[in-house]
Amino acid sequence: MIRHLLQRHGLYTVVALITVTSVLASAIITSGIIYGLLGDTMGRNAWLVTLVTPLLMSPAASWTLLRLVVQLDRAQEELRELSLRDPLTGCYNRRHFLHVLRHEIGRGQRYGQACSVAILDVDNFKLINDRLGHQAGDEVLQQVARSCQAVVRETDLFARIGGEEFAVLLPQTSMVEAHALIERLRLQVQSLAFEAVPQLSQVTISGGVVSAQSVDQVDAVMHAADHAMYRAKREGKNRIVMGAHSITGG
């Protein structure tokens, strides 16, 4: 763990040299001071203790320091991860989603591999909040997020981008392939049973899927996916709109 951490930051060789140097320097300086004070009156055992003590103490001190460095690095990593997450659902947040989307579109440009983006919205969510309360609304969002995250692939990025809206980034995936996966999400949500909110018989989502093509189109891609999602709402909800084509849910 410590070696990996130091190598990741390019410090492994430096720390190793400093540790060895400090051990040797401690032994030489300690021996010089003791010899200057006591001269030849030191016995063999005294010389042994004088030399061995810094050899043991310096690595121990270095090890303790490195453990503190590891703990600090872990704490910073946890804080960084928390800053990328939505506190209610545990999904990634909008800021992280847009950052990864820009990177993925750029990679697609370099290698000719397009990615797809979907925006999903929980149908009639305002009615759920108004009639059953915000706690019920929060439970719906959390369960929808969990169910969708269980379906998306490891290479995909699922995020809550605001309110009852979620987004999915599907790298190296055509719009047709993306639609197939997002349709699975729709069916998964449609089949959910909300035991914590027994007044709800069913929750559905509407979504729009688009293909992203160039790195300067991040805002345009999000707008197009959002527009497709609203088309799905207008056409009856509980469906996915792919590009210019509407695909009705059962």
Domain boundaries, the chain: 2-83, 94-248
pLDDT at 210: 93
**CA-closest candidate to residue 140, choices 192, 178, 90:** 192
CB-count exposure of residue 250 (10 Å: 0-12, 13-18, 19+):
exposed
- Which region, left, alpha or beta, applies to residue 231 given φ > 0 means left and ψ of -120 to 50 means alpha? alpha
Contact indicator for 112, 173 with CB cutoff of 8 Å:
no
Q: Tell me which of 126 and 63 has the higher pLDDT.
A: 126
Q: Tell me which of 64 and 118 has the higher pLDDT.
A: 118
**Side-chain half-sphere CA neighbours of 115 within 13 A:** 27
Average pLDDT value for the chain: 80
Residues forming a β-bridge with 208: 119, 241
Domain 94-248 has CATH 3.30.70.270: yes
Q: What is the pLDDT of residues 113-141, one digit of tens each?
A: 779 999 999 999 999 999 999 999 999 99
CA angle centred on 188, ends 184 and 152, rounded to 5°: 55
pLDDT at 110: 76
Instruction: Answer whether 0.75 is exceeded by the pTM.
Output: no
Which of the residue ranges 12-26, 34-48, 73-87, 218-232 has the most confident prediction, judged by mean pLDDT?
218-232
- Known catalytic residues? 164
Question: What is the spatial distance between Cα 142 and Cα 90, in angstroms, rounded to a whole number?
Answer: 8
Task: Give the mean pLDDT of 151-174.
Answer: 95
